[in-house]
A and B are shown apart, each in its own frame.
Chain A
Amino acid sequence: MMPDSEASRFEPVIGLEIHAHLLTESKIFCSCRTSFGAAPNSHVCPVCLGLPGALPVLNRRVVELAIRAGLALGCTVQRCSIFARKNYFYPDLPKGYQISQYEQPLASDGMLSYETEEGQRTVRITRVHLEEDAGKSLHAGETQSRHTTLDYNRSGVPLIEIVTEPDLRAPATAGDFFARLRAVLMAIGVNDGNMEEGSLRCDANVSLRPRGETALGVKVEVKNLNSFRFLQRALEHEIIRQADCLEMGEEVVQETRLWNEARGRTESMRSKEEAHDYRYFPEPDLPPIEVSDEWISEVRASLPELPETRKQRYLRELGLSATEAGQLAEQADLAQFFEDTARTAGNAKTAAHWVMGEVTRHLKTDGVGIDQVGVTADALGRLVGLVDSGVISSSTGKTVFEKMYGSGLEAEEIVERENLVQIGDRNELEALVTRVISEQPDAAARVRGGHEGTLGFLVGRVMKASRGRANPKLAGELLRQQLRAPGVT
């Protein structure tokens, strides 16, 4: 490995190709199910097995979801686009060609724009096109077996391929972009974001050029980047490998390389030059895809708010911090839960605090999503309201929350039954404060002597003596008064 200073003589130029399964019930050209994990070859038919004479019929929902993705990514959706055959031989491709789009893709010329710590970033989207997925090769018992076995359940599962312009300049930036794109695709209900099951996959094109140079260097395509970590690690490795080549005066070979996670390096696929001659031609078995203006408007009108837009709204209108806004806006269902809580509570900032604190902690411990949360947004909102208006202290709020969670009990019920209303009455609290001072003569003396830190300790004792019901601010005030400590208001 070479030190950063040397590697940084070159600027990496990165573009991504993302394949995303579309969330349909049936495949793109036949009525077989798309569900993952079924018994091998139980979701196949003459069309997706490529049997002679079988003809494809396009699934309307596939087109609709692709339009959705195209619009969410700011693309122009073409009124007329065509399918093409991409010809190559591989056992997972039963027909000997993949039905894809080549010239005239469904959508093109878009962008994804978002806030980062370094400011606004815009990555241009070259195109979004439709294609069918291939089957799955299983190389089980790799050393002994003389066979490769094939499961065609995935053959014909609808995909969109999203191609970016080479606008990314660093592995971390590429990883961040991929995460943002994933969030968008999930938010609009196009893809489930599941990278382990392969429903979202990523390939990267990367080249280097001397800093300051505008012409692009020779690019290498890196495949098999099926997690954010793989993507970042593979790019880091590949950039160093190419920099080494260039430093030694060698040329980078234009090729496809596979990321080998176990070995921590990219490896050449050593495929013959000819394998890349796909001989695309228009698919004669499928008519052009015609999309009316009405259809596009309909899809556009049905698009939900995107995470980035939502984040901006939380920052601008609700006054949340960037961290809060970012985390709450990311997933639509969590965002909805937060907004419902905030509406009932009447205070977005306190609601955000509770959703990101107590609620998220519970979800994490239970290992579930917000769809299985143990409290309704309305009930939580009422609890937050009680805390926010000072009826109960925030530490009592936490106790009440624990009792509400999973029980269906209302905050008001618990507070009333257990007599938890905050002691905001001076006289009532005064007695408690006097008692604590007499019980803690040493601490009291230290506060009298001006030791500010010890005041907190005494406030804690008052809270404990009141079973969390004391208003901590008022308790502090009364302690100061009785001890004639500095800072008396």
Chain B
Amino acid sequence: MTERLTRTEVERIARLAHLELDDAEADRLTRQLGDILTYFERLREVDTSGVEATTHPVSAGPRMRDDQSRESLPRDEAVAGAPDAADGLFRVPKVIG
């Protein structure tokens, strides 16, 4: 059994994900995420020797497309959903390059 998830770790993950959590949310998520991890700890008890590790539930085979281009979105439509746009460009607060 590994150590229980700490609140500091939850805060760090939230920061990396650009999420703002208030104290109550941080407490609740620490508990809930901890429960999920505890459940995975239980799964680890299953004997999986002889079972090949996999990253994907399906082996879909070669589902690839041919290299053919198609029309893209009209430019006004492309930026239509943006909170801020001008001259067909998306605009965000200044980023120091």
Check if B75 is an interface residue, CB within 8 A of chain A. Answer: yes
Chain B residues in 8 Å Cβ range of A32: 69-70, 72
What 0/1 pattern do residues 59 to 97 of B give for CB contact below 8 A with A?
A: 111111111111011010011010010111111111101
Closest B residue to A142 by CB, please name it.
B97
Closest B residue to A292 by CB, please name it.
B62
Instruction: Select one of A145, A274, A282 contacting B16, CB under 8 A.
Output: A274
Q: Please name 13 further chain A to chain B contacts, defined as beta carbons within 8 Å, in addition to the given A42-B88, A149-B86, sorted by A numbering.
A: A26-B68, A41-B89, A41-B90, A43-B72, A44-B72, A45-B72, A58-B64, A61-B66, A61-B67, A147-B91, A152-B78, A288-B55, A288-B56
Instruction: Select one of A42, A139, A279, A287 contacting B97, CB under 8 A.
Output: A139
Closest A residue to B86 by CB, please name it.
A149
Check if A372 is an interface residue, CB within 8 A of chain B. Answer: no
* Interface pair A287/B89, CB less than 8 Å apart: no
Please name the 6 residue pairs, one residue from A and one from B, whose CB atoms are nearest each other, closest first. A61-B67, A287-B60, A282-B55, A149-B89, A60-B64, A31-B70
Check if A305 is an interface residue, CB within 8 A of chain B. Answer: no
Check if A138 is an interface residue, CB within 8 A of chain B. Answer: yes
Q: How far is the CA of A139 from the CA of B89 in the complex (A)?
A: 12
* Interface pair A25/B90, CB less than 8 Å apart: no
Chain B residue total in the interface (Cβ 8 A):
37
Q: How far is the CA of A90 from the CA of B59 in the complex (A)?
A: 32
Distance in angstroms from B37 CB to nearest chain A CB is 15
Chain A residue total in the interface (Cβ 8 A):
49
Chain B residues in 8 Å Cβ range of A137: 95, 97
Q: Which residues of B contact A (CB under 8 A)?
A: 12, 15-16, 18, 55-56, 58-70, 72-73, 75, 78-79, 81, 84, 86-95, 97
Check if A91 is an interface residue, CB within 8 A of chain B. Answer: yes
Check if A39 is an interface residue, CB within 8 A of chain B. Answer: yes
Majority secondary structure of chain A interface residues (helix, strand, loop or mixed): loop
Chain A residues in 8 Å Cβ range of B56: 82, 282, 284, 287-288
Distance in angstroms from A135 CB to nearest chain B CB is 8
Chain A residues in 8 Å Cβ range of B92: 91, 147-150
Q: Which residues of A contact B (CB under 8 A)?
A: 24-26, 31-34, 39-46, 49, 51, 57-63, 82, 87, 89-91, 137-139, 142, 145-152, 274, 277, 279, 282, 284, 287-288, 290
Chain A residues in 8 Å Cβ range of B62: 60, 290
Given known pairs A39-B88, A59-B65, A287-B61, the reply for A33 and B97 (CB within 8 Å) is no
Q: How far is the CA of A305 from the CA of B88 in the complex (A)?
A: 45
Given known pairs A51-B81, A149-B91, A288-B59, the reply for A33 and B72 (CB within 8 Å) is yes
Q: How far is the CA of A274 from the CA of B75 in the complex (A)?
A: 36
Closest A residue to B95 by CB, please name it.
A148
Closest B residue to A145 by CB, please name it.
B94
Chain B residues in 8 Å Cβ range of A288: 55-56, 59
Distance in angstroms from A367 CB to nearest chain B CB is 31
